[in-house]
A and B are shown apart, each in its own frame.
Chain A
Amino acid sequence: MNDYITIALPKGKLFDRSASLLAKVGWEAEGVSEDSRKLVIANEEKKIRFIITKPVDLPTYVEYGAADIGIIGKDVLREEQKDVYELLDLGFGKCRLMMAVPEAKLRPEMEDYAHLRVATKYPRCAKEFFDAQGIQMDIVKLNGSIELGPLIGLAECIVDIVETGTTIRENKLVEVARIFPSTARLIANPVSFKLKFDRLHGLVEDLQRVLQEEKEGKEVPQK
């Protein structure tokens, strides 16, 4: 199987754009869809295999070399801290990690939030952010529905990913700090990147070209 390239794609909101972007540069296989029941989907002719994983597991697959490359959000990458190549910013899946508090609990300064409980899916990033500000916080790790935390008294504030901020507003939360912006990234296993360099380098160049063309294509109609 060593002459194959295994690509890990994340379930969820990055899936469609990831699969269609790869298809544009000829990296596709029949039956690649998010609800595929097959665990491994191969394109024998092009010697490509796709696997579809939960986003938080994706960097682990790539770090261990179970997948040669993958597409994943910078938010997950920063949280998971795996030893992988970050090859390309794919530009889509734009969102940001931010801190939000209930409207009623809004305070004048960042330091005023010290010693509160923070609900988050991103404990490492949250801790780094608060440490850098010199603020001590209790971090409560949750795996979903983070906005629920402050509503029911589990936490006083949240650190979470938002795209537009609609969910935050609907839950009467106010963004008080932006932590970092995130987009989808192409990542590679360090050994695969060396042993399969020509194909992977070719892929990076092809993707760069397509992204550049898309960018230029989009800008034209706006003028």
Chain B
Amino acid sequence: MSDKILKVPYGTRDILPGEGAVRRGLEDRIGRLFNAWGYDEVDTPTFEYVDTFSNAGNPDLTAFKFLDRNGHSLMLRTDMTAPIARMVATRFRRDTGVKRLSYRSRLFRYEEAQAGRLCEFTQCGIEMMGAAGAEADAEVIALAVQTLLEVGLQDFSISLGQMEFINGLIEAAALNESQARDIKQCLIKRNVVGLGETVAAAGIPKQLADIFRELLFLHGGVELLDDMQGRVLSRRCWNALENLRKIYDLCREYGVEQYLSFDLGLTRSLDYYTGMLFEGYAAGMGYSLIGGGRYDTMMQQFGSPCPATGFALGIERILLTLQRQETVQLTVPPALFIAYAPGRTADAIRLAMQLRRQGQRVKVATFAMDEAEVQNQARINKCDTFRYVKE
């Protein structure tokens, strides 16, 4: 017997009964919420051409790749934004309306497995394509907050940043490409020490250098925007902050502003964000649970330029957080066990069908038994209640 028969590959796992039910429930609630906000559920192939993803600027170092019979390189999808961009560029080419799409999909990345993120994982998310304004970004953020509330998360917060603010600083400092890359790398790696060293080596004017050094500490409420607008002279940076203010004001109309704060040094490892971006965190969980932002240049790569914004959340991370916050327990839902005396099988089936139509969860015994056995059989079939059909 091969030693691989009973093992699963690195970074994969089984989902057992209790968890299966809870996950499905979570995904359904999220799906209903997305639907209520007017987002249409779509799906894309589990694997696609490598080119589709590399076109979207995704580093495919983490992809599971393979060849089809014609020798074309394929990969399991590593995110949903690139496939949806491809889909919109090809299937919605003449659709001039705003596209609101949602998905719940399994994704695959070959990377070091972490708590709540294995190589195979599930994301639920939305993309809004064709809307450029703060109104669209505010809707996306408000829906992100609603989603976290809907799944029952307590004690979470959303950090908002703006890539244009960072790009504006880089532009104002007249950095060359490699210096700009070093600075972005330090921001992505959250390396304050390296950022200070890079800024010093680049010889940036003091006022600007100070902002770069503080960048990873620029956290705060809406007053942070006032402070920075008072300090920052570049029009581009000023506009970026003004955009955040507008988004924030609209978020107040949605009643979600209490969950928001600003983090002007926020970057996300994916390179494609062009404007507002955000991440959500919960106490007791060391990783971000939800993330998204504006990516206005990606659709152009697919030959169909159009502004876009969206977010995705990791179901496994949400589930782990809910367990840590003790808001869910991974138990199977209760069920009724119907047992029957010899010769009464048909009656038992009829009863079960009737109760199921009324919404009950029913398991029918797979053999006739004596009344004395029923309680024990109900227990080993994991039913908390039972009925016995006799003469």
Contacts and interface: CB of A to CB of B under 8 A. Distances in A.
Contacts of B155: 2
A70 B124 CA distance: 33
Contacts of A193: 190
A121 to B, nearest CB: 19
B19 to A, nearest CB: 21
A190 B287 CA distance: 7
Given A85-B190, A88-B192, A192 B219 contact: no
A2 B284 contact: yes
Interface stretch (A20-28, A157-165, A194-202, A209-217): A194-202
B219 A194 contact: yes
A204 interface: yes
Interface string A58-101: 00000111100000000000000001111111000000000000
Contacts of B282: 191
A189 interface: yes
Interface residues of A, number: 23
A195 B157 CA distance: 8
Contact of B217 (A65, A83, A185, A204): A204
A131 to B, nearest CB: 15
Contacts of A194: 157, 159, 219, 261, 263, 281
B286 A65 contact: yes
A85 B286 CA distance: 12
B42 interface: no
A88 to B, nearest CB: 7
Given A84-B190, A86-B189, A191 B219 contact: no
B16 to A, nearest CB: 23
Contacts of B194: 86
B197 to A, nearest CB: 9
Contacts of A89: 193
B288 interface: yes
B193 A191 contact: no
Interface in A165-206: 185, 189-195, 197, 201, 204
B281 A191 contact: yes
Chain B contact residues: helix, strand, loop or mixed: mixed
B327 to A, nearest CB: 15
B115 interface: yes
Contact of A192 (B189, B192, B286): B286
Q: Report which residue of B157, B217, B288 has the largest number of chain A beta carbons within 10 angstroms of its beta carbon.
A: B217
Contacts of B285: 65, 191
A125 to B, nearest CB: 15
B199 to A, nearest CB: 14
B286 A87 contact: no
A86 B186 CA distance: 9
A85 B155 CA distance: 22
B109 to A, nearest CB: 14
Q: Report which residue of B115, B191, B286 has the largest number of chain A beta carbons within 10 angstroms of its beta carbon.
A: B286
Nearest to A190: B190
B219 A201 contact: yes
A2 B190 contact: no
Nearest to B196: A89
Q: Report which residue of B115, B190, B193, B284 has the largest number of chain A beta carbons within 10 angstroms of its beta carbon.
A: B193
A63 B217 contact: no
Contact of A86 (B190, B219, B261): B190
Of all A-B residue pairs in the complex, the 9 with the closest CB atoms, nearest first, are A65-B286, A85-B190, A191-B281, A86-B191, A2-B283, A89-B193, A197-B219, A64-B286, A87-B192
Given A64-B115, A190-B286, A193-B190, 7 more contacts: A2-B284, A65-B285, A83-B190, A86-B190, A87-B193, A191-B281, A195-B157
16 contacts: A64-B115, A65-B284, A65-B287, A85-B190, A85-B191, A86-B189, A86-B190, A86-B193, A86-B194, A88-B193, A185-B193, A192-B286, A193-B190, A194-B159, A194-B219, A197-B219
Interface of B: 114-115, 155, 157, 159, 189-194, 216-217, 219, 261, 263, 281-288
